Structure 1
């Protein structure tokens, strides 16, 4: 609380964005006006932190369905911008993300992510995760 108003303590905030979703009266707003690359890199770092000590103990599954222009964790995420592709799985999260991205762009005939967010490098999270050593961008599709 600052001046009897709800506020975010930036010394302990790690940027998850949950404040507005859990506050019953919407008293807290997140400052989304950060540099896009820094925000994207933070997402990759948080993901890496969750699994860095779990090599060969984690599998990843992505449902490439109802792909929306904004995070589908919020009710205002918008209508789907891509056709349903299916379900993909991998032991490598970077390869999985690269495959999902490639398949959506191929299916739609263009980069729907770049179209929805022209100022954002749509592959930065994949590139950064690769740079951190989280996985490889190469993949082999095996249809079942």
Structure 2
């Protein structure tokens, strides 16, 4: 956290590792999804009195969009659960014949892929597709499938990506159900809207112009409204045209009837999927009403702070 700039000095409040300093303070939560029996929820988070879900809305390679659901579903768990179990669920459904796959063959597929998404693990002697990097060739001919030429039955299926979004809804519900509903609030910051997750830990250009900040007690409404506003705003074409293809490929047809995040991350990565899974589980409603609390004009006219420091701790 400190390496990324999140410190007590920069945030004005204590920064406490969500699962303890050794990432080992967890509370096991039972689930029944895709062969997964349990998830290790972060103990420090579940000990909190209230939950303020402060989210930077941005793109995400695994699901198109990282918002309120993603912030809780991944941020609310220990490292192994977050990276191996939840992210790893995309490998649940088989998409090639492992017995026919070789290192030499997967390298052939990797060479054909502009995103180098096909991968080989030397330790496990196993091939896989890094779904985070895959943009499904933006709906055109899938070059890795073409390179496979039927040898292993290599396919890219929406089901693999959908399972990640569904498990995010499952994981987020576990966290939210652990709190009094009256003590939960979601804030989505649609500012500096970058194409990839902040986990990258590097500066990225904003590909969508600033929109504002959304606040609600309904996690489904938070992300649906955010996605609708992003769709209305659209991609900043002057910015995306300057980004080299080795970092980000964009659908050549920007007029395609796809969400802006699908234009970047591929048609199979429908950013609304997680909200649909969440709504089906009674986590909120996709119906919402936008009420402007503070306009950009009012904000610009406000007096700046008189001090750049606190006279005393604000967290008591």
TM interval, shorter chain, is: 0.7 to 0.9
- Higher relative strand content: 2
Q: What is the TM-score of this pair, normalised by structure 1?
A: 0.73
Contact 1:94–1:129 (Cα < 8 Å) also in 2: yes
Whether 1:59 and 2:176 are equivalent positions in the alignment is no
Match of 1:89 in 2: 215
For structure 2, the 5+ residue unaligned runs are 1-35, 40-79, 85-128, 132-158, 236-257, 294-316
4+ aligned runs moved over 3 Å, structure 1: 10-15, 31-34
Q: Pairwise CA RMSD of aligned residues?
A: 3.0
Q: Which residue of 1 aligns with 2:48?
A: none
TM-aligned CA deviation for residue 15 of structure 1? 3.9
Q: Alpha-carbon deviations, 1:16-42, whole Å to 9, x = none?
A: 128xxxxxxxxxxxx854911111111
Match of 1:80 in 2: 206
Counterpart for residue 263 of structure 2: 115
Are 2:290 and 1:141 aligned? yes
After superposition, the Cα gap between the structure-2 partners of 1:77 and 1:17, relative to the gap in structure 1 and judged at 3 Å, is farther
Q: Equivalents in 2 of 1:47, 1:32: separation in Å?
A: 23
Which protein shows a greater Rg? 2
Structure 1 unaligned spans of 5+: 1-9, 19-30
SS at match of 2:197: coil
Give the Cα–Cα distance (whole angstroms) in 1 for the partners of residues 38 and 222 of structure 2. Answer: 32
**Would you say 1:16 and 2:82 are equivalent positions?**
yes
- Give how far 1:66 is off: 1.7
Kindly tell me the number of residue pairs found equivalent between the two proteins.
125
Displacement of 1:77? 7.7
